[in-house]
Each structure stands twice: as C-alpha cells, then as structure tokens.
Structure 1
Amino acid sequence: MHNISNNKNELQINNEINDKEIRLIGADGTMLGIVSTSEALEMAFQKNLDLVKISPNAVPPVCKIVDYNKAMYEKAKKEKEAKKSQKLVTLKEVRLSAKIEEHDLDFKVKNAYKFLSEGNKVKASIRFKGRQQKYTDDGYEVLSKFAESLKEVGAIDKAPLLEGRVMSIILSPQKP
C-alpha cells in the first residue's frame, strides 16, 4: 500500500481519489460496477493492493485495484517500447546553383541519395543573387533534373517553388 505524492502526469492513488462514486475494476480485470470510493478503498486494502484511478475523465471515473509499483513499471515499459519504435526524420539541405556543372550536380545527387536511403528528407535549394533572378527557369530545370535523378529513392513532397530569392524542392524517402 502506497501513499506517494504524485506529479500531475502520474495517476491518483488511494486517498488522493476524491470522487463519491467510481466504476471499479477488480485485480483480476473483472468489472465490479459502480461503488463508493470508501468501499473501493476498503476492498483494495483487504487485498493489500492499491486503488488507482486509470480514467479520470470518464463519468464516473474508472479505478482499478492493482499493485501501484507494478502498474507504474508496466506503464514505463510500454512508453519505452513506443519510444524505441519511433523513427526521427530530419531534413537535410543540399544547396545547388542555377549554373551548376554536371559533375557537381552528380556529387550533390550522390549525397542526397545517401540521405534519402537513411530515411531523412532532403531539401534542395538554389539562391538567386543579383542578376541571376532573371534566370529562374534555369533553376527550375536544375531542380527538376535533381528530383528526376533521385526518383527511385525519393518522392517529391513539395514541387519546385520560388520564395523570394530562393527556389527549393523537398523530397521524402519512398516507402519500400
């Protein structure tokens, strides 16, 4: 039996539960119905377990008779598993120019290919300076060629778009 002061993200247990009536679930998982909180606490104490509020927003709130430490351990274990299975996707940027040479473009494509293969998104951008702004069509062609070279590992998320002086395209890795 525990009477630990909780953080806001933790569950309410035993004497912290102030509701008059609760929906009670037994230690074996059976539904025991709606009972008063004092009656539920008495049942938990008889079994030498804790009364834990598992669904505070329900009407009436749902409580369960369990071993509090075991419940918290299981909850932490589930959260750790969920975190392990998450994949963090980052956005890698590749800078190009409107008058890029073939070899340089191939080198940039090779880097972007590596990023996409690792599961990251790639943003290719061209910055137009001064008089280059007249030749945005060249930039569009370079970005289209860049995306075409990577079509086997990447799909276009955002088509080439001119925003101010920068034209960019975003590619995301294709699902296998």
Structure 2
Amino acid sequence: MATKDLRINRQIRAHEVRVIDENGEQRGVMRLFDACALAEEAGLDLVEVSPNANPPVCKILDFGKYRYELEKKQRDAKKNQAVVKIKEIRMQPKIDKHDLETKSKFIAEFLGEGNKVKVSVRFRGRELAHTELGKVVLDKILEILSENGVLYNLDKPAFMEGKMMSMLVSPAKGSKK
C-alpha cells in the first residue's frame, strides 16, 4: 500500500473500526469518534492499516514513523529486484560463416552479462519462400554457443512473426558472471 493511500484520524470514512493500540493489543470494535479520542489521548495517530476488512482495522501509532518504515520496505524491495534486459541480434538467412561466429560471440557476451537475447533472422522479398534457411541459421547459432561452452536456456524455439524468424535465449541459472 502506498503511503499516500493511507487514511489517518478524521480522514477515515467508516463509522466503526477495529482498534489495535500502540502495544499491539486488540481494543475491539468501537465508534470512529471514540477511537480517535483514544489515539489523541495517547498523543499518537489513528491509522487505517486494513481498509478492506469489515470493520476496517486501525492502529494507534506514530504516523510519521509508520510512513518511514513503509517507504523503507518499498525501497528495499525495489533494490532486491533483478532487471532483465532483452538484447536483440538481427541477421539475414544468407549470412557468412565468419559473420555468424561474430554474432555468436556477441550473443555469448550478452548471456554472460545476464541478459536475455532475441535472435532474429529477417527475410526480404523472395527469401520469404525459404524460411527453412532461417531455421538452419538459428540452429547453427545454438550449435556454436554449445561448442564454445556457453550455458543457455532456449525460452522460445524458432518461430515466425511477420517477416522475421526469432528465438529467445536466456542465460542458464548460475552461469551469470
């Protein structure tokens, strides 16, 4: 829950709320007015922590401190998130052997960095009648990667989309440098 979505004290719309005091003990269901008076008596705020419950659950606590803790949790969760980028390598079905090896090196580098790689073969004009050549090129890429000892997972095998044949390759678990 975002901190701007939290309702405190008089912003709470329910007539009755379930109250948990500053010590974490249940105080039961009471009218909103009584709960706000209880919070003011303690010198703290009444914060609606579970608005979807029936009746809504409110805690008596220091709102500034609570908001700081929530934001800290969100920052930590964001920090631990892994960002996976998808890199794309394009080629044509009439690619030379040396060019194929060069592109394979780039694919191996991208996989080594922990990125997914979309390998695409673009067909132009009459090449579209011979899509099996694209499949051969993609298979050759996988063969070169295997020969060079690159660990990978084939997420999506070769498939046609418009005038392109593509496959999606991701690094194998534990192979990231």
**Shared topology, TM-score over 0.5?**
yes
Unaligned ranges ≥5, structure 1:
1-6
Residue 17 of structure 1: how far off its partner (Å): 1.3
Q: Is contact 2:50-2:56 (8 Å) kept? A: yes
Residue 43 of structure 1: how far off its partner (Å): 1.2
Counterpart of 1:18 in structure 2 is 13
Bigger mean CA offset, 61-70 vs 140-149? 140-149
3-state SS, counterpart of residue 12 of structure 1 = coil
Letter in 2 for 1:103: H
Q: Is contact 1:147-1:171 (8 Å) kept? A: no
Distance 1:149 1:33, change over 3 A: farther
For residues 125 and 75 of structure 2, the distance between their equivalents in structure 1, rounded to whole angstroms, comes to 52
Show the 5 A alignment for 1:80-95: 80-95=75-90
**Matching of residue 71 in structure 1 with residue 69 in structure 2:** no
Residue 163 of structure 1: how far off its partner (Å): 2.3
Letter in 1 for 2:159: L
Counterpart of 1:3 in structure 2 is none
Residue 8 of structure 1: how far off its partner (Å): 8.7
Residue 96 of structure 1: how far off its partner (Å): 1.7
Q: 2:140 aligns with which of 130, 138, 145?
A: 145
Show the 5 A alignment for 1:127-138: 127-138=122-133
TM-score in terms of structure 2 length = 0.89
3-state SS, counterpart of residue 133 of structure 1 = helix
Q: Is contact 2:3-2:70 (8 Å) kept? A: no
Q: Is contact 2:3-2:67 (8 Å) kept? A: no
Q: Sequence identity of aligned pairs in percent? A: 44
Counterpart of 1:52 in structure 2 is 47
3-state SS, counterpart of residue 132 of structure 1 = helix
Bigger mean CA offset, 74-83 vs 147-156? 147-156
Q: Which runs of 4+ in 1 moved over 3 A?
A: 148-152
Letter in 1 for 2:108: Y
Counterpart of 1:101 in structure 2 is 96
Unaligned ranges ≥5, structure 2:
none
Residue 144 of structure 1: how far off its partner (Å): 1.4
3-state SS, counterpart of residue 89 of structure 1 = coil
Q: 1:170 aligns with which of 136, 146, 168?
A: 168
TM-score in terms of structure 1 length = 0.89
For residues 29 and 110 of structure 1, the distance between their equivalents in structure 2, rounded to whole angstroms, comes to 59
Q: Is contact 2:3-2:71 (8 Å) kept? A: no
Q: Is contact 2:115-2:170 (8 Å) kept? A: yes
Q: 1:62 aligns with which of 57, 81, 98?
A: 57
Distance 1:133 1:144, change over 3 A: same
For residues 101 and 139 of structure 1, the distance between their equivalents in structure 2, rounded to whole angstroms, comes to 13
Q: Is contact 1:53-1:61 (8 Å) kept? A: yes
Residue 68 of structure 1: how far off its partner (Å): 0.5
Bigger mean CA offset, 82-91 vs 26-35? 26-35
